[in-house]
Amino acid sequence: MIEISLVGRGGQGVVTAGEILAKASIQEGKYAQSIPFFGGERRGAPVRSEVRISEEPILLHRRVYNPDVVVVFDTTLIDVINPLEGIKDNGILILNSGNPKKLWKRTYYVDATRIAISLGLVMAGWSVVNTAMLGALDRVLGVAKLETLETVVEEEFKGRIGELNAKAMALGKREVRELD
């Protein structure tokens, strides 16, 4: 079983990303849970979505306390909360950053904000970076095939918005890099 913690701000698509990842995993014959966790439902507030994916039925029904992977949609949150709390020693950190800093032993980054802005994926002043971050996660972890993720995204977002989000996912996958 793999446990993933997605951390960001309301409006960035954190909860939707968790749902897309779980749905894609289930479509590929795996078992998955998406567990959203947030306080006040407002744009800009810290939001966390946790996902479990397994080849076997998942009998655990609680929050993720020791994630294998932490995906940070907004690095300014690092000054507010500790998104790395409980990460496993051999865990992986994936950051949305154009100017990354190595914050963990295995740190990856992608400028998902730039990708979202370049494609016009901005809502009420917030860059919706979720699909670019899922693309990065797919390349680093490979828990679901990009094609399956794209299918789920295009089912979730119809028409042109679905196409743009699928493109953001492909760009996120292509552009993610590991920090040495």
Task: Please count the other Cβ atoms lying within 10 Å of the Cβ belonging to residue 135.
Answer: 29
Q: Are 110 and 131 in contact (CB under 8 A)?
A: no
Query: For all residues of the chain together, what is the average pLDDT?
Result: 93
Single-letter amino acid, residue 79? D
DSSP structural state of residue 116: H
**For 60-100, what is each residue's pLDDT tens digit?**
989 999 999 999 999 999 988 999 999 999 999 999 999 99
The predicted pLDDT at position 123 comes to: 83
- Domain residue spans in the chain? 2-179
Closest CA to 45 of 83, 12, 20: 12
Domain at 2-179: CATH code: 3.40.920.10
Q: What pLDDT does 40 receive?
A: 62
Residue 39 has a pLDDT of 65
**SS3 of the chain: helix, strand, coil, percent, to 5:** 35, 25, 40
DSSP for 19-50, written as a single string:
HHHHHHHHHTT-EEEEEEEESS--TTSEEEEE
pLDDT in tens, 10-25: 889 999 999 999 999 9
Reported residue count of the chain is 180
Tell me the one-letter amino acid at 39: G
What confidence tens digit (pLDDT) does each residue in 120-169 have?
Answer: 998 877 889 999 999 999 999 998 888 999 999 999 999 999 999 999 99
Q: What is the pLDDT of residue 44?
A: 79
Q: What is the pLDDT of residues 12-67, one digit of tens each?
A: 999 999 999 999 999 999 999 999 987 665 777 889 999 999 999 999 989 999 99
Q: Which long-range contacts (CB under 8 A, 24 or more apart) does 24-29 make?
A: 24/144, 24/145, 24/148, 24/149, 24/151, 24/152, 25/53, 25/143, 25/144, 27/144, 27/148, 27/151, 27/152, 28/144, 28/145, 28/148
Average pLDDT value for residue range 103-116: 97
Tokens describing residue 115: 């990708």
